[in-house]
Amino acid sequence: MVRSTRSRAAALLAAGALLATAGCVQSERDDTAGGGGSFVFAASSDPVVLDPAFASDGETFRVARQMFEGLVGTEPGTADPAPLLAESWETDDAGVVYTFDLRDDVTFHDGTTFDAAAVCANFDRWYSWTGLQQNENISYYYNSLFQGFAESEDPELVGGLYDSCEAQDEQTAVVTLTRPFAGFIASLSLPAFSMQSPTAMEEYDADNLSGSEDDVRFSAYGTEHPTGTGPFQFDSWERGQSVTLTRYDDYWGDVAQLDEVVVQTIADGNARRQALEGGQVDGYDLVAPGDVQALEDAGFQIENRDPFNVLYLGLNQAVPELADLRVRQAIAHAIDKDAVISQSMPEGSTAATQFMPDIVTGFSDDVETYDYDPERAKELLAEAGQSDLSIDFVYPTGVSRPYMPSPEDTFVALRSQLEAVGITVNPVALPWSPDYLDRIQGSPDHGLHLLGWTGDYNDPDNFVGVFFGTEKNEWGFDNPELFSALAAARELPDADEQGPAYEAINDQIMEFLPGVPLASPVPSLAFAPEVEGYEPSPVQDEVWNGVTVS
């Protein structure tokens, strides 16, 4: 993928708003762009925050990837790690000391030099978070992968994977871990571990809780002054409407050809399609399956990502009824995955048997699959004394995700199947951000729920380790045997050793059945004929400095 810089553009959206809730587009785009022009992309939801360290959702990361970079990136069009701000790295024989040789021509958007001291400032920042910053819904990725902080009121959160960072010289950073982690390098390609300007974070109190009592993520830095090294820099954010970025002319790589990029929030899929057809946007993600052929016939471009995701039905064991394995098995047997796919997912989507795609190391061919069997579901409910089970089903509205293109339709399909075996479903519909994610990941107050994952890099820990590596509000269980198996597997040095270990873990997970894997949908993007240079990535590492709009 080409990386670049840019200058300011004159292309703007006209004063009229894109009225997604009305299912129509009432604005017209001003085509009097100067210079390199603008690229307007329709997203399915607003970013949560523009400080990527406090984010875990794809729409935040879509914007963050234009502004921020990490030590490690990905090979274009793949999920495999590649050098980015670090030109190379070495690991000691024990697999705990990583020496990074850094690029020497990089500056942050505020002019601060990127060097080893900046690298250590970022690692030490994450490790030093306290209080609300340690909440799994706030620092999701650091919690999941590093699993500990310098200090915490919770003794189990003290310590973790990170030990120290040393600036050996200006261009050499040495990061020391407390134990091996085979996925460490690949994990650094996550936007959550992007390098951010220490100067800007200090100036704008990135970690200051005062003034942001409701949510630590919404600091002045995280909403008004995000500062990275990427090809585009922050210009403005109109909450619920759009984020505007402009070209960073002092970028170390290939300078962006565009002057400006605008990420426009249009929650409704029909409204996104209408905005493309009407010329208000140049592209959008998560094209509805029924729209693909019509858009192609009309001359628009369709690009498919290779599926690298999984959608699942979560079963929260903090609910007493769901703590009974027989009830969880009954729910699994009640679900006809093929019917769910045909009713709510794109053509080419495949049924999932476990919590990772089949191309990831550790995928098992021998897991328990819980075939569709409504009569067996009824028998299991009776055995558990739950023939009249009533359960809350929390699902998101106004959002599309690569793993969940139409959550409302998926909910409807699942609800009918569950009710067919005698389960009373109590619908709880919540807007995606922040209500839905806060409810599922930040509290125990939910029963069934829909969620999923688009893999961030090609490592089994990025799927099952992120899901089940520690106790979480989402799942509501404590399984020391599973936690220990995952902790041991993530420290194995190479894929040859990881494979058998993760196959056994997948078998263990599907016997324990914390949720029901449903499908791996195929995500599609659509673009105007004039758009060139957009390269789809299975992990959505799509940086727009190579994009042009004629």
The domain locations on the chain are 309-520
* DSSP-assigned states of every residue in 172-183: EEEEEESS--TT
Q: Are 469 and 147 in contact (CB under 8 A)?
A: yes
Closest CA to 346 of 525, 529, 536, 539: 525
Say how far apart CA 457 and CA 208 lie, in whole Å.
31
Encoded tokens for 358: 């089949």
pTM for the structure as a whole: 0.76
Encoded tokens for 91: 């690991």
Who's near 364: CB < 8 A, 6+ residues apart? 354, 502, 503, 504, 506, 507
User: Does the pLDDT at position 11 exceed 50?
Assistant: no
Task: Indicate the pLDDT class of residue 474, thresholds 50, 70 and 90.
Answer: very high
Beta strand 38-43 with 260-265 is: parallel
C-alpha 183: how far from its chain's center?
17
Say how far apart CA 475 and CA 514 lie, in whole Å.
7
CB atoms < 10 A from the CB of 397, how many?
14
What CA–CA distances, in Å, run from 149 to 121, 124, 142, 157, 220?
Answer: 15, 10, 9, 6, 24
Long-range contacts of 396-399 (CB under 8 A, 24+ apart): 396/429, 396/430, 396/431, 396/432, 396/436, 396/450, 397/429, 397/430, 397/431, 397/432, 398/45, 398/267, 398/268, 398/431, 398/432, 399/44, 399/45, 399/267, 399/431, 399/432, 399/433, 399/436
Cα Rg, the chain, nearest whole Å: 23
Say how far apart CA 486 and CA 492 lie, in whole Å.
10
Task: Indicate the pLDDT class of residue 21, thresholds 50, 70 and 90.
Answer: very low
Task: Indicate the pLDDT class of residue 17, thresholds 50, 70 and 90.
Answer: very low
If one compares 15 and 203, the residue with the highest pLDDT of the two is 203
Question: Quick one: pLDDT at residue 207?
Answer: 86
User: Does the pLDDT at position 19 exceed 70?
Assistant: no
Task: Indicate the pLDDT class of residue 359, thresholds 50, 70 and 90.
Answer: confident
The fourth-level CATH superfamily of domain 309-520 is Dipeptide-binding Protein; Domain 3 (3.10.105.10)
Share of the chain above pLDDT 90, in %: 74
Q: Which of 57-71, 202-216, 419-433, 504-518 has the lowest mean pLDDT?
A: 202-216
Give the pLDDT confidence of 310-358 residue by residue, as tens digits.
999 999 999 999 999 999 999 999 999 999 999 998 888 999 999 999 9
What CA–CA distances, in Å, run from 79 to 65, 364, 483, 540?
Answer: 15, 20, 26, 9
> Tokens 């299991």 identify what position?
380
| Sign of CA pseudo-dihedral 321, 326, 330, 332 | positive
Q: Which of 2-16, 273-287, 318-332 has the lowest mean pLDDT?
A: 2-16
| Sign of CA pseudo-dihedral 281, 287, 291, 292 | positive
Closest CA to 315 of 389, 392, 388: 392
User: Does the pLDDT at position 495 exceed 90?
Assistant: no
Looking at the chain, how many residues does it have? 550
Who's near 416: CB < 8 A, 6+ residues apart? none
| Sign of CA pseudo-dihedral 495, 500, 506, 508 | negative
Mean pLDDT of the chain: 90
What CA–CA distances, in Å, run from 549 to 39, 157, 243, 440, 545?
Answer: 7, 48, 19, 39, 12
CB atoms < 10 A from the CB of 60, how many?
25
Q: Are 228 and 3 in contact (CB under 8 A)?
A: no
Give the pLDDT confidence of 500-548 residue by residue, as tens digits.
999 999 999 999 999 999 999 988 999 999 999 999 998 999 999 999 9
Q: Could you tell me which residues are beta bridge partners of residue 165? A: 175
User: Does the pLDDT at position 212 exceed 80?
Assistant: no
Task: Indicate the pLDDT class of residue 433, thresholds 50, 70 and 90.
Answer: confident
Task: Indicate the pLDDT class of residue 216, thresholds 50, 70 and 90.
Answer: low
